[in-house]
Amino acid sequence: MKDQLVEIVKGALEEISAAKTLEDIEGVRVRHTGKKSPLSVLIKSMKERTPEEKKELGPALNDARTEIHGRLEERLQEIEEAFDGAAEWVDVTAPGKKGPSGHLHPLTIVQRDIEDIFTSMGFEIADGPEVETEYYNFDAVNVPDNHPARDMQDTFWIETKSDEDRHVLRTHTSNVQVRAMQEKSDQGIKPPFRIIVPGRVFRQEATDASHEHTFHQFEALVVGEDVSVANFLHIAESFFSQFFGQDMKVRVRPSYFPFVEPGFEFDISCTICGGDGCSSCQQTGWIEVGGAGMVHQNVLEAGGYEKGVYTGFAWGFGLERLAMMKYRIDDIRHFHGGDVRFTRQF
């Protein structure tokens, strides 16, 4: 038994000394200290030995294991130090290795395209918090106290100790309209001005191919003197024509939104058939895109401007909706699904 133990230790030390790389030293460790190594087999066999044999062989086994482990640590440190020293020298003539390059998410591409088009038309980009106060998310944009959007089943509310300091995950980017106007009025800046607000919003609703609880929204705000729906139609048609790379028409239909008066929904001519009628637009020649309207005077007042002095229009749509139309994407859940097979297509 002792002779066998001596041979095991001798063989292990010889292999440890011969190891040149980290892979070599790992192989030696597994062969001589692993569960199936000769040393481990001898240690396991001790439970079958007599008390006298255990008393005689136990210390020898412990010494052998300690010696092998100690030499392994020493050799590992020697190899790592040698490797570090070699790594300090770099062959600058060696060909480089090109790593994998990433690319922009389709929503980022669409948002940047939108921002480029609007900034070229004189708009500035505004931003605001995603966790918003109840005042800016609802009160400042003229949403009444009994509006369904304030219900727990429609909105993600943040738990607070006081009902006077309630916060919510913003349900739209309209909150930034008021914040941007307040900032300008505080600085003494009077209309006209043009603002766009792209950003992420949250709504507590069921998820399906066309609905998500988290999505991106875009809004545009124009405030000045004698601003009318005709100004909206011109800017909207100019934007969509540039975005889709073809002549686009816009039409409006009466609708209700608390922050505008009058309010309307707007459609664009079908990007597939050009307005002639096809299966994509259900033979109507039009595709519904978003909502718009003339900014309510209460919203202008919340922004710091006197009622009845200025007019303006606001309009918005979902970025995912626009990306789905442009890239022929059939399910909104692809955008946030995390499947690289989808994002690699853009």
Q: Is the pLDDT of residue 28 over 80?
A: yes
Does 232 score more than 90 pLDDT? yes
pLDDT above 90: residue 121: yes
* Residue pair 258/290 in contact by the 8 Å Cβ criterion: no
Q: State how far the Cα of 267 lies from the Cα of 198, in Å rounded to an integer.
A: 20
Report d(CA 29, CA 68) in Å as an integer: 9
pLDDT band at 83 (very low <50, low <70, confident <90, very high): low
pLDDT of 3: 73
203 vs 55, higher pLDDT: 203
Please tell me the predicted confidence (pLDDT) of residue 312.
94
Q: What is the mean pLDDT of residues 10-31?
A: 85
Question: Across residues 149-177, what is the average pLDDT?
Answer: 82
- Kindly give the interhelix angle for 51-87 and 2-18, rounded to the nearest 10 degrees: 0
Residue 97 exposed, middle or buried by CB count within 10 Å (0-12, 13-18, 19+):
exposed
Predicted pLDDT of residue 178: 93
Residue 155, pLDDT score: 85
Give the pLDDT of residue 1: 64
pLDDT at residue 93 in the model = 86
Residue 115's pLDDT is 95
pLDDT, residue 234, reads: 95
The answer on pLDDT for 310 being more than 80 is yes
Q: What is the mean pLDDT of residues 101-105?
A: 84
Q: Are strands 250-255 and 214-224 parallel, antiparallel or unpaired?
A: unpaired
Tokens 């006298």 appear where? 52
With contact defined as beta carbons under 8 Å apart, do 325 and 287 qualify? yes
> Which of 41-45, 49-53, 158-162, 320-324 has the highest mean predicted lDDT (pLDDT)?
320-324
Q: What's the whole-number mean pLDDT along residues 286-302? A: 93
Taking 90 as the threshold, does the pLDDT of residue 157 lie above it?
Answer: no
Q: What is the rounded average pLDDT for all residues in the chain?
A: 87
Average pLDDT of the residues in 290-315: 93
Query: Which comes out higher in pLDDT, residue 16 or 314?
Result: 314
* In the predicted structure, residue 107 carries a pLDDT above the cut 80: yes
Whether the predicted pLDDT of 153 surpasses 70: no
Which token pair is 295? 């900014």
Q: Report how far residue 125's alpha carbon sits from residue 187's, in angstroms, rounded to the nearest whole number.
A: 17
